[in-house]
Chain A
Amino acid sequence: MKFTLKIWRQQGPDDKGRFVTYQAHEVSPDMSFLEMLDSVNQGLIVKGEEPVAFEHDCREGICGSCSLVINGVPHGPERGIATCQLYMRRFSDGATITIEPWRARAFPIIKDLVVDRRALDRVMQAGGYISVNTGGAVDGNVVLIGKDQAETAMDAASCIGCGACVAACKNASAMLFVAAKVSHLASLPQGKPERTRRVTAMMEAMDREGFGACGNQYECEAVCPKSISVRFIATLNREYLRAGVVESGAPTVPEAPHAESD
């Protein structure tokens, strides 16, 4: 198979960037999309040119590293997979393929197709955890959790944090990402004690990082490699409204950071 690739090249954050056209020859239909890019890169390297930078690690759709917008769709034409799980047999021979990075203010470009997604980590740091110390946890069977409840939590928790939801959203909103985390923890008894603080803090962090607001357009769900449902966004909204009511009533005492030091 043969392909014409239009790939976004950008030296660094300050470079303007542009599309460069490459030819991919002798592509086997059994190649993955990333292997196809590998082979293009091998050709560039021996010519002394810099290879196209793109992110990858596990190459089996779970680490969330790979992040390409292929012909205008994050992770490309197939549903429910990450870029690394896309195979060339999905494309027709001779096609032209446009490859762009995730584009969002919160994801500045590092180089070519690689963006900085630390904003997602910072949203997690704002509250995406249950603050229990190591040690002394009660037996795992003390609190029973129904199968359905555990399944719902797992549905939400399967988010791989790739940021495709942000890339796909017209508003570059990270709502599905936040929703997945909030819903995962809110649907488990262990996550209940901190639910009020968590949802507010994470929503504030999302705004702070420069993500847009949700337009309920659901493009995120359609490109999510784990097909995480937008109903979790409703759950998030509900959690948030609930937090607003709770917070305006009785004060909840948040842990003062470093209280021990003063």
Chain B
Amino acid sequence: MTTLDSKVPSGPLETKWDRHRFSEKLVSPNNKRRIKIIVVGTGLAGASAASTLGQLGYEVECFCFQDSPRRAHSIAAQGGINAAKNYQDDGDSVARLFYDTIKGGDFRSREANVYRLAQVSTQIIDQCVALGVPFAREYGGQLANRSFGGVQVSRTFYCRGQTGQQLLLGAYSALCWQIERGQVTMRPRTEMLDLIVVDGHARGIVVRDLVSGHVTAHTAHAVVLATGGYSNVYYLSTNASGSNVTATYRAWKQGAAFANPSFTQIHPTAIPPSETHQAKLTLMSESLRNDGRLWVPKVPSGRRPPNDIPSSERDYFLERRYPQFGNLVPRDVASRAVKTLCDEGRGVGPGGHGVYLDFTDVIEQQGLDVVRERYGNLFDMYQRITGEDAYRVPMRIYPAPHYTMGGLWVDYNLMSTIPGLFVIGEANFADHGANRLGASSLMQGLADGYFILPYTIGHYLATTKITPIAEYHRESREALERVASRVTKLLGGQGRRTAASFHREVGRILWDHCGMARCEGGLKRTLQSIPALREEFWRDVAVPGSGETFNQELEYAGRVADFLEFAELICHDALHREESCGAHFREEHQTPDGEPKRDDTRFSHVAAWEYRENGPPILHKEPLTFEFVQPTARSYE
């Protein structure tokens, strides 16, 4: 039976983390050498954690499914990373970053966690600079900032449009150092397929070597999951093609609670899909909304070229509805506005899936060169994909699944409901509530990995008596068998349909019924149609080749199989939450003019779901209490 104890320290918000750190037990340096920790994932969260743990003296074994840790999906983040440095002296502070994040998350996150995140944010920048991350600088040599969706201060640090890349390369280089020192053993092209739990504690993982196909058990004193988000459950998303839910989902099945799975962020500024074979959606950085203006024709104008439509006939819908924030409203607000317009038939481009993002004004005011310098690579990317020149014709954008606020439930120490299983980065649910603000995921990943987990895991290790376990233990053997039989099952389908076709189908169902807007009827229908689809999958899926070799289709089919189960969990969560908050919009709960209606009396909680073998998942609630901020209507008008 799962119990949710958030372990948030009592006392004033500002000193919680300091006091907590002091009260934590430490592991003596001599013992660290004898303690082994498994880290799954080498994104910002995983790489920063593995390198820091290695540096502290633990023996670390680190896994990723890509051929190199440097290719983790964090590499693709473009826009930037937030930190409450207040270098611009524009009124920023830890308290303000905290408040913005809590409010941005629509009051569905834990105060203590978010405050700590804001506190730690400043250290992240310093650490990254020390590691050689080439942040943008002013002429005078100081760090440059830009402002990013949903806030009114300029606190985002960036490296051109490649911030995630540079931060990850920084963390990866730190990891390289620890690998060279022998502190970290790196196992790329290795996929975690199950979790080993011994006496209620997470003690290892089962992995498949993607090159040789060997399935092996790896045991340790603690396991850290940093396996990223699951937006790919929607098939088309801005995530990398390998991003998956497998690791966290498998851990869920072994007893870790999954929190708020339906909180999925749909990003407003992606390039609209153009054809059916499309495999992914490409994000255009949020920063484009700093200078671009969103509009659609007031009356649908068919194929009329946008430049021929005079401004009196344009509806700058975000500026009209949210005069204070204008085009900079948070993502969920912008996405929903776009979707509503397109559903009304006012969208532009193929299939009416799109709205204009127009740079004419800023080009006129500040010149082409300024725009080119700021966004050149994004404009180039847009041109390559669509064949259109956005300097002359407005871009077209459409929302795309992008980030998952939901994830494995963790307490203040980032430990899941399975002791010894820690979850960091996008894989956990912790800090973003029902909606994440731009540039705050990179911040969270690095905060968790560099500065939080390395402390909190020590306390667990110092206070838990750990007996050595071997790979031939019963629990390991069982886990190995689970994995082996699944591989066999996947290879045994009748081979009439490809895994991709199932993936596309489940993605479509979710997008339609559990995407930007959800309603009871649709969710209930989905809960019925998914099991049927899953049955068909196991009967008909085609996976050629064998399990004993490099077999990409086998990897993929395994991930799709998990998505097909996980999709149901998302819908259960969306169905239970009878309110609209953040990215979760229930059609039944809106004001007459279409604004979401939050219900703090019934739903001010984290929904943490427990796996049950036969039957629907069990809901546990972690109540959210707000001692330091007052939940207000999250209005951006």
Contact = CB atoms under 8 A, between A and B. Distances in A.
Do A and B touch each other in the complex, judged by CB within 8 A?
Answer: yes
Interface of A: 11-12, 28, 30-32, 34-35, 38-39, 42, 44-46, 48-51, 53, 55-65, 81, 85, 87, 89, 110-111, 114, 116-118, 120-121, 124-126, 128-135, 137-141, 143-147, 149-150, 153-154, 157-158, 160-161, 184-185, 188, 190-191, 257-258
B553 interface: yes
A140 B125 contact: yes
Contact of B451 (A53, A135, A144, A146): A135
21 contacts: A39-B277, A46-B497, A58-B75, A59-B240, A60-B76, A64-B68, A85-B385, A87-B384, A120-B68, A125-B176, A126-B180, A128-B173, A130-B173, A134-B127, A134-B450, A140-B125, A145-B141, A149-B137, A185-B132, A188-B134, A191-B132
B454 interface: yes
Contacts of A191: 132
Contacts of B179: 125
B603 to A, nearest CB: 36
* 10 tightest A-B CB contacts, nearest first: A144-B141, A129-B173, A153-B134, A137-B130, A137-B126, A140-B129, A150-B137, A154-B134, A57-B240, A134-B52
B69 A121 contact: yes
B70 A146 contact: no
A117 B69 CA distance: 12
A127 to B, nearest CB: 8
B80 to A, nearest CB: 14
Interface string B177-217: 10111100010100000000000000000000001000000
Interface in B140-178: 140-143, 159-160, 162, 164-166, 169, 172-174, 176-177
Given A111-B549, A131-B177, A137 B129 contact: yes
A133 B51 CA distance: 9
B282 interface: yes
Given A28-B275, A35-B278, A46-B497, A132 B131 contact: yes
Given A133-B55, A161-B68, A50 B387 contact: no
B279 A34 contact: yes
B8 interface: no
Main secondary structure of the interface of A (DSSP, over half): loop
A134 B451 contact: yes
Given A60-B76, A257-B181, 20 more contacts: A46-B495, A50-B545, A58-B240, A62-B76, A63-B75, A85-B384, A85-B385, A87-B384, A110-B550, A125-B176, A125-B177, A129-B173, A134-B450, A134-B451, A137-B130, A140-B125, A140-B128, A146-B139, A150-B136, A160-B75
A3 B162 CA distance: 34
Interface string B528-549: 0000000000000011110001
Given A51-B544, A144-B142, A258-B181, A130 B129 contact: no
B89 interface: no
A45 B137 contact: no
B123 interface: yes
Contacts of A157: 134, 159, 166, 169
A252 B553 CA distance: 51
A125 B185 CA distance: 12
B376 to A, nearest CB: 12
B241 A134 contact: no
A205 to B, nearest CB: 10
B67 interface: yes
B175 to A, nearest CB: 8
A108 B160 CA distance: 34
A158 B497 CA distance: 40
A89 B387 contact: yes
Contact of A140 (B52, B135, B140, B283): B135
A81 B177 contact: no
A257 B182 contact: yes
B87 interface: yes
B71 A63 contact: yes
A257 to B, nearest CB: 6
Contact of B553 (A51, A137, A147): A51
A50 B543 CA distance: 8
A130 B384 CA distance: 36
Contact of B279 (A48, A59, A85, A185): A59
B500 interface: yes
Contacts of A150: 134-137
Nearest to A114: B550
B300 to A, nearest CB: 23
Contact of A154 (B87, B159, B542): B159
B588 to A, nearest CB: 37
Interface string B357-388: 00000000000000000000000010011010
B616 to A, nearest CB: 33
B66 interface: yes
B392 interface: no
B351 interface: no
B277 A135 contact: no
Given A126-B180, A134-B450, A121 B76 contact: no
A25 to B, nearest CB: 12
B280 interface: yes
Contact of A58 (B76, B275, B496): B76
Centre residue among B132, B173, B451, B501 by max chain A CB count within 10 A = B132
